[in-house]
Structure 1
Amino acid sequence: MIDLDDMDRALLRALARDATQSAGALGRNLGLSQPATWRRIRKLESAGILKGRHLRLNAQALGFGVTVFLGIKLATKGRVSLEDFERAVSAIPEVQRVEHVLGLYDYRLRVVARDLPDFERVLRRRIMTLPGVGEVEANVLLSEERSAGPLG
Structure 2
Amino acid sequence: MSAPLLPDETDLAILRALQADATRSTPALGRELGLSQPAVWRRIRRLDEAGILAGRKLDLDLEALGFGVTVFLGVKLGARGRVSLDDFERAITAIPEVQTVEHVLGLYDYRLRVVARDLADFERVLRRRVLTLPGVGNVEANVLLSEERLAGPL
TM band (smaller chain): over 0.9
Alpha-carbon separation, structure 2, partners of 1:47 and 1:127: 37
Deviations 1:39-85 (A, max 9, x none): 11011111111112110011100000000000000001121011111
Q: Which ranges in structure 1 are unaligned for 5 or more consecutive residues?
A: none
| 2:48 partner amino acid | E
Residue 150 of structure 1: how far off its partner (Å): 2.4
| 1:52 partner amino acid | G
Residue 147 of structure 1: how far off its partner (Å): 1.3
| 1:29 partner amino acid | E
Query: How many residues matched?
Result: 151
Q: Report the equivalent of 1:121.
A: 124
| 1:62 partner amino acid | L
| 1:144 partner amino acid | E
SS in 2 for 1:112: strand
Is it true that 1:134 corresponds to 2:107 in the alignment?
no
Deviations 1:65-123 (A, max 9, x none): 00000000000112101111111111111111111111111111000000001101110
Q: Which ranges in structure 2 are unaligned for 5 or more consecutive residues?
A: none
**Superposed counterparts of 1:3-152, under 5 Å:** 3-151=6-154
TM-score scaled by length of structure 1: 0.96
SS in 2 for 1:142: coil
| 2:153 partner amino acid | P
| 1:122 partner amino acid | V
Q: Report the equivalent of 1:2.
A: 5
Alpha-carbon separation, structure 2, partners of 1:56 and 1:120: 25
| 1:108 partner amino acid | R
Alpha-carbon separation, structure 2, partners of 1:150 and 1:84: 35
RMSD over aligned CA atoms reads 0.8
Residue 5 of structure 1: how far off its partner (Å): 1.2
Residue 3 of structure 1: how far off its partner (Å): 1.8
Which range moves more in the overlay, 58-67 or 78-87? 78-87
SS in 1 for 2:11: helix
